[in-house]
Amino acid sequence: MTVISDRAAIAGIGASRFGRHLPESQLALGAAAFRAALEDAGLDRSEVDGLAVNLGWPLGLDYDRIAEAFGLDVRYVNQTWTHGRFVTMALQQAALAVGAGLAEVVACVAVASFTRERDLLGGPGDFEGMREEGGTHAENPPYGLTAPAAGAALAYRRYMSLYGATTDALGEVAVTLRSHALRNPNAVMRKPMTRDDHRASREVVAPLRLFDCCIVSDGAVVVLVTSAERARDLRKPPVFISGMQGIRAGRDEFIFAPPGLGINQQRPGRVTPRPEDGDALRMAGIERGDVDGLYTYDAFTPLVLFVLERFGFCAPGEAHAWVRGGRIALGGALPVNTSGGLMSEAHVSGWNSIAEIVRQLRGEAGERQIAGARYLQWATVWGDSIVFRR
């Protein structure tokens, strides 16, 4: 379980500007982030010999075009398409490649051009939707559920019925993450949000409202992964990949809900956190209480509640009450998505939160800084996770 722990580290991060309807191409956005990552790490592009690309079909470029455009000569490639499901996978593969000697430095490249590709997200050109039989995120098209929000909405409706939750908990999440974005000069959403604003926003798929859905934006993030030994000799303090576990799949899994709350073939009933959902913590050699901050793929506000329960930060049915009172805010017991996440910073498929984790563990987050942060966890509702440490 511990053979890969702390053997790889993030040595550099870079980001393009974030925004809507940006004029730059995907290559231009990616190149800006790549240059910034090289500068951050103190590396030359000739030292990058691996690529983990998280922007392939149907919403992006292939690895060979990126290597050519960035002037790279690579000997290792891993490619996935644009989706938050593959953040952990790309980082894990980069760490494993470095550990196995397949590459010295792997550039994880993620680019989102969602505002120029909107027709591909639920529209007539939605090739991913056709791949998943008409629903882009495991929704059920015969019932008209072809929008990503539908699956999360149905799961939360079931959660409300089981546990007596209301949409006020969703407002707590949305308002908190917006407050984090207000401390982030790079965030797209800069207007304060109140709970009344959340309640007044238009309904998208009941019970979800507009402010329960992530923003649609453009931008790029590049993360450079190398060996722990090499990272220690570079410009910035290394951020070690201490523990990880893979994405879960099977009859009891649904992309936007923990086991027991999905909308397909899952068994009914209340499912408590399972031992295997703590694999990343065990690999890192820490307890849940050692985690100083939680980062997750917050495409929709219920996902934050579901992650808290799946990974045992609170018991099933408790998250809707647990998040109140500033518990997930900066200064609270478990700050969540301190840059604003997909809800308010930018939608770069979750990679913007990986960059924020690195800033936090280096002590570079400014007024968003979690005091004394040592261990931070990236975890998603579909069960994958990485534990990072300084």
Q: Which domains does the chain have, with CATH numbers?
A: 8-389 (3.40.47.10)
The C-alpha angle with vertex 79 and arms to 303 and 10, in degrees rounded to 5, equals: 70
Show the tokens assigned to 271. 């499912």
The predicted structure's pLDDT at residue 94: 97
Which residues, including other chains, have CB under 8 Å from residue 107's CB and lie 6 or more apart?
A: 34, 37, 48, 50, 51, 52, 70, 72, 222, 223, 224
CA–CA distance, 269 with 276 (Å, rounded to integer) = 19
Show the tokens assigned to 155. 């799961």
The predicted structure's pLDDT at residue 230: 97
The backbone region for 85, taken as left when phi is positive above 0, alpha when psi lies in -120 to 50, beta otherwise, is alpha
CA–CA distance, 115 with 218 (Å, rounded to integer) = 6
Residues of the chain with pLDDT under 70: 1-2, 56-59, 116-146, 263-270, 272
The predicted structure's pLDDT at residue 12: 98
Per-residue burial over 92-108, b if 16 or more Cβ lie within 10 Å, else e, is: bbbbbbbeeebbbbbbb
The predicted structure's pLDDT at residue 1: 47
